[in-house]
Amino acid sequence: MDLLRETLTSAAHEQGFVLVGFARLNPLSEHEAFYRRWLADGGNASMTYLAKDPELRFDPRRLDARYKSVVSLGYPYAARATPTVDWRAEMRGRIAAYALGRDYHDVVKKRARAVGDVLRRLRPGSTTRTYVDTGPVFEREWASASRIGWFGKNTMILNREHGSYFFLAEIFTDVEFDATAEPYRDHCGTCRRCLDLCPTGALADGYVMRSELCISYQTIENRGAIPRDLRPKLGNWIFGCDICNDVCPWNDDHASDHSAGDLMPRLPEMLALSEEEFGRRFTVSAVKRAKRRGLLRNVAVALGNTRNPDAVAPLAHSIEAETEPLIRSHAAWALGEIGGSAARRALERALHDRDTAVRREAAAALETN
C-alpha cells in the first residue's frame, strides 16, 4: 500500500499537482450541525443547489457504497500582484486570478482523471470517481482530512508552502487508504486580516462565509440585481474577488507580476461586448459562468465606482442600445454615482425606458444627482 501511495503521488506530481493526500472515508458528522445551521441562516443565499440532498455531502458513500477512501489533490494557480495602475483614471476592472486562462474545471479534472487512470491500472477492477468543484462534495473538509492543509479563517484551505492559491480535486475510490501524515495544524493564529479587510464584511468569526455579502457571490452567482448598498463596496471587481487571498500572510511570497490587460481589462470595452463577442472571448474561461448579462452588470457598477466623467458616454450609450434591462438598470445607477449634466440628461431619458427597474434606478439616481 505504501508503494501504491508513492506511485500515485508521483503520478499526481507529473500531472502538476503540488499537494497529494489520502484519507479513509467516514461520515463528516462534526460538520453536519454547522452546515445545517449555515443553511438555516441563509448562508447559501440563492445557491439552492447547496441545500439539495445535504446527506450526500456528509458521507460520499451515499453516492456509491463502494467508496472507501479519497485522494485529495491541490493544483496551483498563479497569484497575481495587482498592477500598479490607477483603475479609476484608466477605467479598468478586476478579474480574480483563478479565472485567467482556460476554465480550471476542464484543466484540473482532466489531470485528476489521469491520476485516477493510474490507480485503476495498478489496481485492475477498482472504482474511481473524480470531482473538481462539482457535485455534492465537501472539498475543503476532505482536503483537511487528507492533511494537505488547514481550514483558514478565510474559509479556504491553506498550506504553509502554497498559501491558498490552489484548486482542489478529489478522487473517491474503493481502494483503501489511510491518512499518511499528522493532522495539519492551524497556522492562522490571531491573524484577522481576511476578516477585517473584507470590504463587505462577508467573513465572520467561526469560519463563516455570508454568501450574500461576498463579492465573488455577487459578481458570479447572483443572477439578479446587486443590492444598492453593496455596489460601492465592489470597487472594480467584475468577476470574483481575491481580497481574502491577497491579504493572507501565507500568500505573501506567491504573488507574481502580471499585465494589466489580462487581470484588469478596460471597462468601456467590456461594456460594449456583444453576445457573440462575449462568447468568443470567454468560451474556454471560467468567466463564462457569469454570463454576459451578469458580467456587464458588474462592469456597469465598476464604471460607476470609478467616478470618472469619461465613463458617462459608454454608460449612456449602454442605456440607449443595450437590450438587457439588468445591464441598463445598473448603468443608470452608475450614472448617478458619477453625476454631472451629461449623466443627468442620460438619466432623464432613462425615465422613459420600457423596463420598470431601469426607470426606478434612473429616478433614484436623479434624486442624488
For residue 307, what is its C-alpha cell? 467616478
DSSP per-residue string spanning 254-295: TEE---HHHHS-BHHHHHT--HHHHHHHHTTSGGGGGHHHHH
User: Would you call 199 helix, strand, or coil by DSSP?
Assistant: coil
Please give the DSSP secondary-structure letter assigned to residue 221: I
For residue 6, what is its C-alpha cell? 508513492
CB hemisphere CA count around 230 (13 angstroms): 19
Distance between CA atoms of residues 84 and 8, nearest Å: 42
- Cβ atoms of 305 and 336 within 8 Å: the answer is no
Establish whether 196 is a catalytic residue: no
Contacts of 194 (CB under 8 A, 6+ apart): 152, 153, 154, 203, 243, 244, 247, 248
Q: Interhelix angle for 325-338 vs 341-350, to 10°? A: 150
Contacts of 248 (CB under 8 A, 6+ apart): 152, 154, 158, 163, 164, 193, 194
Contacts of 98 (CB under 8 A, 6+ apart): 77, 104, 165, 167, 240, 286
How many other C-beta atoms lie within 10 A of the C-beta of residue 135? 16
Catalytic residue among 133, 174, 242, 262: 133
The catalytic residues are: 133
